[in-house]
Amino acid sequence: MLAGGLFATVMVTGIKFVGQRLPVLEILFFRQMFVFILLTPILTKQFPGAFRTQRLKLHLSRCAISIVAMTTGFTAIVHLPLAEATAISFSRAMFATLLAIIVLKEVVGIRRWSATIIGFIGVLVIVRPSPEGVNEYAVMALFSAALVACNLIMTKSLTTTERPSTIMAYHAGVLTVAYAVPCWWLWIEPTWTEMGLIVGIALLMSMVQYCMIRGYKEAEASAAQPLEYVRLIYAAGIGFIIFAEVPVIWTWAGATLIIYTMRRNAMKGGDG
């Protein structure tokens, strides 16, 4: 879990670095294309079974949500300090709880309700809305976190009937095609260094997924999830070293409240 958190932070750093010159949609196209290439051996072996599904509409809906979530999330990463973007991304746990209640009809007790409210306060502390307005990129990050939570709920529904390879095949294939047109329209010739970083971003994403899966396999979710919080420390450190970013006190205060929400929602007996 600690290694996965580090890889995730390095991946985000690469996105932020490349995004200083290249359009976000171009980065996303290359990222998804390389992911699809990495999946090709599995899809070839399982073809055509990997593409057989009775839930095409749900697959496409999930892809549409992913497109908006990734576009807004990557844009926020490029323009926000790493620690702030990371802290806001943790709010997905709060949105996941709300969606579980609304969509999955899960029963949530007073403890999780109170933790969710505290998490929302934490988000407000970071975003700091005022009469003069709010940071549009912070709002993008928050919107992305909400869509990621929605994506997780849809993925959970798909896993009840679909094979992992089918879920991954539709997601990677549809997103690659969807990003191709805006990538062509906004095209900026990447340097060899930038292309190498984009390939590294795709590889790191696979490494993050592997580390997280192994982490949750070896330990209970309630024990493993808190280790994800170390991403905030990684982000603050890397942001300071690479981009000379110094997190403000509001970021740490809000992150503390959001992390409390994540911890409370992961605890056994949290519905009491």
Q: Which residue has the tokens 């930038």?
A: 194
Better pLDDT: 246 or 9: 9
User: Mean pLDDT throughout 203-232?
Assistant: 70
User: Mean pLDDT throughout 86-106?
Assistant: 76
pLDDT above 70 covers a percentage of the chain that reads 85
pLDDT, residue 182, reads 92
Question: What's the pLDDT band for 65 if we cut at 50, 70, 90?
Answer: very high
Residue 238: is its pLDDT beyond 90? no
pLDDT, residue 122, reads 77
Outline where the chain has alpha helix (H): 2-18, 24-46, 56-79, 82-89, 92-102, 110-127, 136-158, 164-185, 192-218, 221-224, 230-243, 249-266
Q: Specify the range with the lowest mean pLDDT, choosing from 18-22, 98-102, 135-139, 196-200.
A: 98-102
Q: Specify the range with the lowest mean pLDDT, choosing from 65-69, 119-123, 151-155, 166-170.
A: 119-123
Q: Specify the range with the lowest mean pLDDT, choosing from 30-39, 60-69, 217-226.
A: 217-226
Cα-trace Rg, the chain: 19
pLDDT, residue 267, reads 57
Residue 271: is its pLDDT beyond 80? no
Q: Specify the range with the lowest mean pLDDT, choosing from 167-181, 185-199, 200-214, 223-237.
A: 223-237
Q: Specify the range with the lowest mean pLDDT, choosing from 95-99, 134-138, 226-230.
A: 226-230
Q: How many CB atoms lie within 10 A of CB 19?
A: 18
Residue 227: is its pLDDT beyond 70? no
User: Mean pLDDT throughout 225-235?
Assistant: 74
Better pLDDT: 97 or 193: 193
Say which residues have a Cβ less than 8 Å from residue 114's Cβ, sequence separation at least 6: none
Residue 114: is its pLDDT beyond 90? no
When the pLDDT of each residue in the chain is averaged and rounded to a whole number, the result is 81
Better pLDDT: 72 or 50: 72
pLDDT, residue 87, reads 82
pLDDT, residue 185, reads 92
Residue 109: is its pLDDT beyond 90? no
Question: What's the pLDDT band for 154 if we cut at 50, 70, 90?
Answer: confident
User: Mean pLDDT throughout 147-162?
Assistant: 83
Query: Read out DSSP for 186-220?
Result: T--PPPHHHHHHHHHHHHHHHHHHHHHHHHHHHS-
